[in-house]
Amino acid sequence: MNSDTSMSRGVLALYCLATGFSVAAVVYHQSMTFLIAASFGLPVDALWSLSLATQLGYGAGLVLCLPLGDVHPPRVLIPGALLLLGVTLLLLSVAPTLTVVIVLCAVAGVLSVGGQLLIAHCARTCLPTERAAVIGSLLSSLFAGLLLARVLAGWGGEVVGWRGMYLVVGMLTMTLGLLIRAHLRIVPPCEPIGYGVILIRQYRLWMAHAPLRRLALIAACFFAASNGIWANLGSLTHTTLQWSTAQTGLLAFTSLAALRSPMLADYLQRKMRWQAVVMLLGTGLMLVSLAGALMGAHVVMIVVFLVVADIAVRSVQALTQSRVLAINPAAASRLNSLYMTVFFLGAAVGSWLGGVAVHHLGWLGMYLFPLFCTLAGLGLLVFSGHDESDPTLSPVLPQQPRP
């Protein structure tokens, strides 16, 4: 496909599927922790390391692999990432020990950057008249992939087992990798740059922009709260409420409320400074966390807690990420790579510390952990130094592309 032609609906649908299935590999295990633990004869709360390994892998992939999209042909890199991810998921279906599962989850996390590579490729090759719509569709597919993967894994795991589930999604991911190669747009040869030079430039970019570091760390604190919840929810609902994997998977539908969070953030920032919006969202999450700590494992409270947490995290992401991209538009792709790396490293730390909190405190730990993560994020917002030339101090958020 040439870059001077419009993208057909069929190709866009294929791109959306590839993006969704790519990122879905990061969360499949979250709805199947009980099934995986039972197959190895382990307690459910011993599997927090799966989320930690997957999120660390994804963070490593963002910083180590995403910059390769600027120097390697997309017709090799993107299909290769999808094919290798499919193979890794197939290997998970026959993994003999939990240690092997953890290692393969980390590898799957690294290879899950195929969707991000595809988004960057479309940003580079799409016609100006279609770029916003295409990228908006891919971002929506990315969020939908995270949502539907939890539901699909929950129900599929109940029907065919966790190994059968990884077998099915592995085959589907490999099929998408084979199909997408012929439909990737042709791009001019990239400038030959050594891999070490790429990493050095990324490091220099990170050190050169204090706003980038501040915004990424604030967003990471909020995402740590969210992932600390989702990474440990399955084990907690099973041990205390005796819910099945399928029932826990249904809770993922609460994330539907967060799909329009960028629009909510866009609306609120037009009424007040963006810092005030983050304070408002963070305060709301802390209040709901406190209410949950008082009410415990009440189903309605759990649903409200998940809805508020997802809306707060996605809204804060929209506010901070848009400002990161505005720091230096010429380096937007590299800035986004650094931002997303810290964002998902926050998720990895959240999986670990959230697991510790839930193991020792049960539902009280589930509610209090995001409260302290939110406090940390708001502390960075309030007490970090500000430069008057900092472009992120602008009260107006750049207009978000509508999916």
pLDDT single digits (tens) 19-60: 999 999 988 888 788 889 889 888 876 777 787 888 888 888
Burial class of residue 388, CB neighbours in 10 A (0-12, 13-18, 19+): exposed
Which of 193, 210, 225 delimits the end of a domain? Answer: 193
Quote the pLDDT of residue 4: 55
| 352 in the same domain as 279 | yes
Q: Domain range holding 51?
A: 1-193
| 147 in the same domain as 6 | yes
Quote the pLDDT of residue 402: 32
| 153 in the same domain as 241 | no
Place of tokens 């600390």: 228
Quote the pLDDT of residue 163: 94
| 43 in the same domain as 174 | yes
Predicted model pTM: 0.72
Q: Buried (b) or exposed (e) across 52-80, using 16+ Cβ within 10 A?
A: bbbbbbbbbbbbbbbbebebbebbebbbb
Q: Are 225 and 361 in contact (CB under 8 A)?
A: no
Quote the pLDDT of residue 189: 55
CATH number for the domain including 149?
A: 1.20.1250.20
Question: Which residue type, as a one-letter code, is found at position 172?
Answer: L
State the Cα–Cα distance between residues 17 and 120, nearest whole angstrom. 16
Q: Buried (b) or exposed (e) across 204-232, using 16+ Cβ within 10 A?
A: ebbeebebbbbbbbbbbbbbbbbbbbbbb
Burial class of residue 328, CB neighbours in 10 A (0-12, 13-18, 19+): middle
| 241 in the same domain as 182 | no
| 212 in the same domain as 90 | no
Which of 172, 193, 214 delimits the end of a domain? Answer: 193
pLDDT in tens, 329-387: 666 667 777 888 888 888 878 888 888 898 889 999 999 999 999 999 999 998 875 54
* Eight-state DSSP code of residue 387: -
| 204 in the same domain as 189 | no
Asked whether residue 395 carries a pLDDT value surpassing 50, the answer given is no
| 297 in the same domain as 207 | yes
Mean pLDDT, residues 146-173 taken together: 88
Q: CA end-to-end span of the chain, whole Å?
A: 23
CA 88, 202, 381 angle in degrees (round to 5)?
A: 95
| 216 in the same domain as 145 | no
Neighbouring C-alpha atoms within 13 Å toward the C-beta of 136: 14
Which of 161, 193, 225 delimits the end of a domain? Answer: 193
pLDDT in tens, 297-318: 888 899 999 999 989 988 898 8
Quote the pLDDT of residue 331: 67
Q: Are 327 and 391 in contact (CB under 8 A)?
A: yes
Confidence band (pLDDT; 50, 70, 90) for 104? very high
Q: Into how many domains does the chain fold? A: 2
| 296 in the same domain as 147 | no
| 309 in the same domain as 201 | yes
pLDDT in tens, 67-79: 777 667 788 889 9
Per-chain mean pLDDT for the chain: 82
| 316 in the same domain as 384 | yes
Asked whether residue 389 carries a pLDDT value surpassing 80, the answer given is no
The share of the chain scoring above pLDDT 70, in percent, equals 89
